[in-house]
């Protein structure tokens, strides 16, 4: 599997160019992309996106559901997360992250629990963001709780936290376009990040590869036992541009700036769950110092 990032951020000035409609805003640099993933390999023929105005006015919410296939209380939490997603369609998105600091509920245990759902990034998050509460628990846009020094919420608190996040100010807008090339089983991902307010600090763009559904055993509360064909929903599978993503702001940045990033990624062929029809991207911008997610979008591949 090859996973390469184009380390470019191109900023548009409203004085010199209109950012409402941009054709190929990123200069092509040989070697910046693995062009072997592009059929024919000729950068001059690559169909860069045309960007139009982003008229969104809503702040969306990412619920990161920290779960495990051996956690008997986790299926109920997953239902809570799915309910919030379904009842706020297009505004609330779920990433099921199989992780904990010790990996106890995520361990592979043959002959039944043979699927390793863990990711390196997921495990790092449980130790880097202080005061992990154990499975099941989660984050809601990684907003710090009123009690302070914790972005972790019990599932019973997700609903209230989500409502508050949905009604908060939109500071960043995002758009994403992609091209899929079946002959190399690769995606080329293009993002536009628009700053609606002045930002100060360090802010990163992060891309999650999500498997929409994975059918695999799950330990349930007694007396149910093991559900052999449990539908694991919206499973975090990889971080396309690394655990903490790509830095797009460092310092003070004025409102109105638009930042463009490009990524190429070859999809794994591990099993049928990696079929392009079962994949999505969750993209978000977060404050690297506080972890808070300013905006998130989900794109079906």
Q: Does domain 59-169+207-241+270-300 have CATH number 3.40.30?
A: yes
pLDDT digits (tens, 9 = 90+) for 86-123: 999 999 999 999 999 999 999 999 999 999 999 999 99
Question: Which pair of tokens denotes residue 50?
Answer: 């045309």
pLDDT digits (tens, 9 = 90+) for 145-194: 876 679 999 999 999 999 999 999 999 999 999 999 999 999 999 999 99
Question: Which pair of tokens denotes residue 270?
Answer: 């591990």
Question: Which pair of tokens denotes residue 198?
Answer: 């002045």
Long-range contacts (CB closer than 8 Å, 24 or more residues apart) made by 130-137: 132/66, 132/100, 132/101, 134/100, 135/66, 135/67, 135/68, 135/71, 135/73, 135/74, 135/100, 135/105, 136/65, 136/66, 136/67, 136/71, 136/73, 136/74, 136/76, 136/77, 136/78, 137/66
The separation between the first and the last C-alpha atoms of the chain, rounded to the nearest angstrom, is 18
What span, in angstroms and rounded, lies between the C-alpha atoms of 200 and 60? 21
Tokens 């390469």 belong to residue = 4
pLDDT digits (tens, 9 = 90+) for 203-262: 999 999 999 999 999 999 999 999 999 999 999 999 999 999 999 999 999 999 999 999
Sequence ranges of the domains in the chain: 59-169+207-241+270-300
């Amino acid at each position: 599997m090859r996973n390469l990032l184009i380390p470019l951020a191109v900023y548009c000035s409203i004085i010199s160019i209109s950012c409402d409609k941009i054709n190929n805003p990123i200069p092509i640099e040989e070697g910046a992309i693995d062009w072997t993933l592009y059929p024919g390999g000729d950068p001059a023929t690559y169909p860069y996106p045309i960007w139009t105005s982003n008229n969104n006015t809503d702040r969306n919410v990412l619920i990161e559901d920290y779960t495990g296939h051996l956690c008997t209380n986790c299926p109920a939490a997953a239902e809570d997360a799915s309910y919030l997603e379904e009842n706020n369609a297009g505004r609330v998105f779920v990433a099921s992250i199989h992780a904990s600091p010790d990996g106890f509920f995520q361990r592979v245990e043959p002959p039944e629990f043979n699927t390793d759902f863990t990711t390196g990034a997921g495990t790092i998050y449980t130790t880097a963001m202080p005061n992990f509460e154990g499975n099941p628990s989660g984050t809601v846009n990684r907003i710090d709780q009123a009690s302070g020094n914790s972005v972790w919420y019990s599932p019973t608190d997700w609903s209230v936290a989500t409502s508050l996040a949905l009604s908060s100010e939109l500071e960043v807008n995002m758009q994403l376009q992609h091209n899929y090339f079946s002959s190399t089983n690769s995606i080329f991902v293009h993002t536009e990040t628009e700053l609606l307010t002045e930002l100060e600090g360090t802010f990163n763009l992060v891309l999650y590869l999500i498997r929409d559904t994975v059918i695999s055993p799950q330990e349930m509360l007694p007396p149910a036992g093991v559900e052999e064909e449990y539908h694991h929903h919206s499973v975090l599978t990889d971080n396309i541009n690394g655990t903490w993503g790509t830095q797009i702001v460092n310092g003070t940045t004025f409102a109105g700036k638009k930042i463009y990033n490009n990524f190429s990624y070859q999809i794994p062929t591990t099993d049928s769950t990696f079929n392009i029809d079962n994949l999505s991207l969750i993209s978000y911008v977060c404050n690297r110092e506080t972890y808070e997610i300013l905006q998130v979008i989900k794109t079906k591949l």
